[in-house]
Amino acid sequence: MSERRSAPPASPETTLGLSVLRTRDGSCTVYDHKLDERYHSVHGAVQESFHVFIRMGLEATAAIPLRVLEVGLGTGLNMLLTWVEADLTGRNVAYTALEPFPLSLALLVEMDHTAALELPERSGPFLELMTLKEGAIAQASATFNFQVLATPVQEFDRSAAYDLIYFDAFGPATQPGMWTLDVFQRMFNALAPGGILVTYCAKGAVRRTMQAAGFITERVPGPVGKKEMLRARKPD
């Protein structure tokens, strides 16, 4: 997702140009051979996701209940970490993810995010969430419900429906159509007043596009291996 390197050899499990890679913190990510991109940092999938989306996102908003929109469900790690946090803190979270191109069950099983978090009891329930029928809502626990939509972000149209957005698309060089003014205007409209959006990206062009959409932006410390990231807020 963030730091590029030479493509590794395809594993036998590679089907649609995707294979599983282990990152430096022991957790796994997916490598897309066609795009030459990883879904997470080589420095650690869990450490990156926790820093960017939990520490800089979830912990930065006091909304209760908390309504989260994720752009790019991917491997489901951000969702899993949020579910764990909801259960640990007792904070009610309603989580909606946009994912037009879901990963296969085989890849999800091979990555085994729940093992990386030492939560094997969540393996089955997590896989059920990740293979949930599009549009259905699952009550994963007393504090967490989940829905996945196949709607592309370029067609997403909600008004003041969320308190927090995890913007986790591939980078602007790989998916420029995900980082346009129109997309960030849609994200601005989707947030309630005072809501925030977080992304691992720190590019100046992205920050200026967010500002043009109406956001107040700030650069905050990034995860291991990355100096900065962006956090944007919709004015109250």
- Write the pLDDT tens digit of every residue in 70-112: 999 999 999 999 999 999 999 999 999 999 999 999 999 999 9
Model pLDDT, residue 4: 27
| Gap between the Cα atoms of 134 and 121, Å rounded | 24
Task: Specify the higher pLDDT residue, 39 or 233.
Answer: 233
- Per residue in 185-212, pLDDT (tens digit) is 999 999 999 999 999 999 999 999 999 9
Whether pLDDT at 165 is above 80: yes
CB 66 within 8 A of CB 194: no
| Gap between the Cα atoms of 84 and 1, Å rounded | 23
Chain mean pLDDT for the chain: 92
What are 166's strand-pairing partners? 70, 198
User: What domains are defined for the chain?
Assistant: 45-233 (3.40.50.150)
From 100, 44, 45, 95, select the one nearest 70 (Cα to Cα): 95
- Per residue in 32-42, pLDDT (tens digit) is 988 888 899 98
Peptide bond preceding 125 in cis form (omega within 30 of 0): no
Model pLDDT, residue 15: 44
Ordered alpha helix ranges (H), the chain: 45-49, 77-89, 105-111, 113-116, 123-130, 181-190, 204-212
Model pLDDT, residue 14: 40
What's the mean pLDDT in 143-161?
97
Q: How confident is the model at residue 227 (pLDDT cuts 50, 70, 90)?
A: very high
- Per residue in 8-48, pLDDT (tens digit) is 333 334 446 999 999 999 999 999 988 888 899 988 999 99
Model pLDDT, residue 16: 65
